[in-house]
Amino acid sequence: MKAEKNPSFQADALSHKLGAFLDVGSQEKTMLELLQGPQSFIGAGKEVVYEGQNNHAAYVLRKGWVCSYKRLRDGGRQIVDIQIPGDFLGLSSLLLRTSDQGFISLTEIELAKINTNRLQEVLQTTPRLAAALLWAVSRDQAIVVEHLVNIGRRDTMARTAHFLLELHARLSLVGLGTVDGYHCPLPQSVLADALGVTAIHLNRVLRQLREDNLVIFRDSAITFLDRERLARFAGFDLTYLDHKASLTD
């Protein structure tokens, strides 16, 4: 089940993710492949879609990490969400002419452009797959909402813990997590921009989490020392990631 033992696994993260919602048959798997147009490989730190871009495309992230963000007048930025393999980029804002968020690659990435015509076909002809795709979009929204709650109501320590636990759950769903941790290529400055705090303060909070024997973030790796206790401390309840869709039965 480890990603490095099965190279095709990561590239197929999307179908694996959807598999959490329904069994993806081989025909549906083919449809899913057809949805995805030409691949592109992009280095780290590149703007994939910029804020205000017109008629931007939507993509499936096949490898690597991306974040979506909004810039502020004063030069700061707020990271809205982190995208990991199997996630969509810009799908939900496809209907708006201009993207209100920017997307930037955090590592080297592999993207597949979504063929919008085929997408409409799929939505009309393959109801099960359509439901699965809409489920994924709804889940992305729930993630943003939980992020809002996280920033609005938890102090930095619980907030950080919650965020790291969420990433673990999401990565595990696409086979990129281990029992007690995961590879996390984010620099502290990016994590800070996601959590709405300064990098300096985040650094202190990470030290506190480490000294409390809860979680260690070192050498681009998250290691949970006591995930149960951490989840209790953070008030982490993963039902928002776990929703079953209402059309299943």
Q: Which residue lies nearer to DNA by CB, 210 or 229?
A: 210
**What Rg, from alpha-carbon coordinates, does the chain have?**
18
Which amino acid belongs to residue 61? Answer: L
- Residues in region 31-90 near a copy of itself by CB under 8 A: 52, 55, 70, 72-74, 76-78, 80
- Residues in region 11-70 near DNA by CB under 7 A: none
Q: Which residue lies nearer to a copy of itself by CB, 140 or 226?
A: 140
Q: Which residues contact residue 196 at a Cβ distance below 8 angstroms, ignoring those fewer than 6 apart?
A: 78, 151
Closest approach of a copy of itself to the CB of residue 108, in Å: 27
Could you tell me which stretch among 4-12, 106-114, 128-136, 216-224 binds a copy of itself (CB under 8 A)? Answer: 128-136
Instruction: Verify binding: residue 245, DNA, rule CB under 7 A.
Output: no
Closest approach of DNA to the CB of residue 163, in Å: 13
Are 243 and 139 in contact by the 8 Å Cβ rule? The answer is yes
Closest approach of DNA to the CB of residue 65, in Å: 14
Give the count of alpha carbons within 13 A of 22, CB side only.
Answer: 20
Nearest CA among 55, 62, 6 for reference residue 32: 62
Instruction: Verify binding: residue 188, a copy of itself, rule CB under 8 A.
Output: no
Are 212 and 193 in contact by the 8 Å Cβ rule? The answer is no
Instruction: Verify binding: residue 199, DNA, rule CB under 7 A.
Output: yes
**C-alpha to C-alpha distances, 15 to 6, 27, 161, nearest whole angstrom:** 15, 12, 28
Q: Which residues bind DNA (CB under 7 A)?
A: 155-157, 187-189, 196-201, 203-207, 218
